[in-house]
Chain A
Amino acid sequence: MTHYLLAVHGPAERGEFGNYGSKEEMEEAFAATGAFNDKLRADGYWVFAGGLEPASTATVVDGQGEAPVVTDGPYLEAKEALGGFWVIDAPDLDVALKLAAEGSKACRGKVEVRPFEGLA
């Protein structure tokens, strides 16, 4: 089994209803994502998942120098940002891609699939 990161990317700036056009859309996406999460757990793929606060809440810390340097904002300033993610445990890429397609449909965003080099 291999661990994969399924990263959901979306607009860095969010509106009243997050990345969604309306309250209904947002609620539908949340419900579908919840159902998808349940399925991941039931089928044994689930490792961890979470949605992130907007990129504007991020803080970058550089601890390589003598004193850490703390900067407001995300590491990469971009129109698109990581909005949430799943970590799954899947037998191969085809299974991971299938799950990513389901997750993408549920949360209504594009999903980047990336294998972990290993897991501590």
Chain B
Amino acid sequence: MQGGTAAVERVFREEYGRLIASLVRRFGDIDIAEEAAGEALVAALEKWQESGVPPNPGGWLTTTAGHRAIDRIRREKQRDARHQAAFMYYHDAPRERTGPVEDDRLRLLFICCHPALAPEARIALTLRLLGGLTVPEIAQAFLVPERTMAQRITRAKKKITSAKVPYRVPEAADLPQRLSGVLAVLFLVFNEGYLATGDGDPVRAELTGEAIRLTRILRQLLPEEPEVAGLLGLLVLTEARREARVRNGQLVPLHEQDRAGWNRALIAEGHDLVRECLAVNRPGRYQILAAINAVHTDAPSAPDTDWSQVVALYDQLTLLDPSPIVALNRAVAVAELDGPEVALALVDRLPLAGYHAWHATRADLLRRLGRSAEARQAYDAAIAATNNTAERAYLSRKRGELV
């Protein structure tokens, strides 16, 4: 029976985003959609364990949840005329123009990532409504108390309803800007999984996996957008190295990783995506980051890496995004090409004293220059600034090896 429950829950999880999105479109209310979806799950757990998962589970869930939502609205009709009026409004309204792409999930994603919502609320809503993660799961992933996360989500949903965040894909003219907000949320979800904060697991594969799954859906919906392909490429090329990136609880830096442990299927997929982006020739931030990762994953060993290509790509990225973090990453590549001294001069100029990677990079460059005392100080600062257990363990080891 346990296996049966797990199977139902897996199907439910896979269908959840589509289910919620279609219910939100029909009923114009996220709470009604979530409640009806929850009731449909209970019904599925009962029914499917007896008679097996139906051939079209998504259709079954949608129909069942739709009936439950209508039942609830009928019940509320008697006691809440105002709600009923809202329901009539949504139901009688002629189907609005929904933007360039007709898909409920895409519309829901643009609601969840609306710029009028706080960034942390965007991430939480996306994981809740499209990813189907539970509130406790999201709270755990972001290390906040469950109650805080529940409040964050409730407040965001209230704002969506009260301020009337529209349920549609932005017009073509607004799409690039709004899309970059959606991509940023997916990238943040991935990064939190890849370099998890807190004392728990250094990597949270459920978050990296979920970010990739949602980005794949986004790519199906917007196949013509090179930045979507770029983000997907970046995520799969990064995910491909996940297993090799932590050993015995310690972070393994790129040049020390066992490349036989990299996921070849993901690398092949990522390289295909990068080639596709190059052919489109409308470069963007994620496409360039994906290309940099393609160069790394193309090299049979660390010394084979085409560093001049990496630096050239960072130069291109700097034109789009002249931020100190990009400059820091560029300097890491410069160190391989022109030596640590040149790189250190670049790094020392950056206003990133609060950023663990700045201290870690300085520590490494100082170590390579034989300036052990300064390196030790920099390692201390990096260890103090990092929130990831595996990175802390790695930095402590490197500090211990200083002579």
Which A residues form the contact surface with B (CB < 8 A)? 2, 4, 91-94, 96-97, 113-115, 117
Contact = CB atoms under 8 A, between A and B. Distances in A.
A115 B114 CA distance: 16
Nearest to B162: A115
A115 B164 CA distance: 8
Contacts of B162: 115, 117
Interface size, B (range): under 10
Interface string B158-194: 0000111110001000000000000000000000000
Nearest to B166: A92
B299 to A, nearest CB: 46
20 contacts: A2-B163, A2-B164, A91-B164, A91-B166, A92-B164, A92-B165, A93-B114, A93-B116, A93-B164, A93-B166, A94-B166, A94-B170, A96-B163, A97-B116, A113-B116, A114-B163, A115-B162, A115-B163, A115-B164, A117-B162
A114 B116 CA distance: 11
A4 B164 CA distance: 10
Contacts of A4: 163
A75 B266 CA distance: 60
A97 B177 CA distance: 14
A46 B368 CA distance: 66
A94 B166 CA distance: 7
Nearest to B171: A94
Contacts of B116: 93, 97, 113
Contacts of A113: 116, 163
Contacts of B114: 93
Nearest to B178: A94
Interface string B110-151: 000010100000000000000000000000000000000000
Contacts of B163: 2, 4, 93, 96, 113-115
B203 to A, nearest CB: 37
Nearest to A114: B163
A94 B171 CA distance: 11
Nearest to A90: B164
Nearest to A115: B163
Most buried by B among A93, A96, A117: A93
A92 B110 CA distance: 14
Of residues B114, B116, B162, B163, which shows the largest number of chain A Cβ atoms within 10 Å of its Cβ? B163
Given A92-B165, A96-B163, A113-B163, 5 more contacts: A4-B163, A92-B166, A93-B116, A94-B165, A94-B166
A113 B163 CA distance: 9
Nearest to B110: A94
A94 B170 CA distance: 9
Nearest to A1: B164
Nearest to A98: B174
A110 B319 CA distance: 29
Contacts of A115: 162-164
A94 to B, nearest CB: 5
Contacts of A97: 116
A48 B377 CA distance: 62
Interface centre among A4, A97, A114 (most CB of B within 10 A): A97
A17 B36 CA distance: 57
A16 B116 CA distance: 35
Interface string B359-382: 000000000000000000000000
B115 to A, nearest CB: 8
Nearest to B174: A94
B1 to A, nearest CB: 46
Contacts of B166: 91-94
Nearest to A92: B166
A113 B114 CA distance: 15
A96 B116 CA distance: 11
Contacts of A117: 162
A113 to B, nearest CB: 8
Contacts of A114: 163
6 pairs of A and B residues whose beta carbons are closest in the complex? A92-B166, A115-B163, A92-B164, A93-B163, A2-B164, A93-B165
A91 B116 CA distance: 16
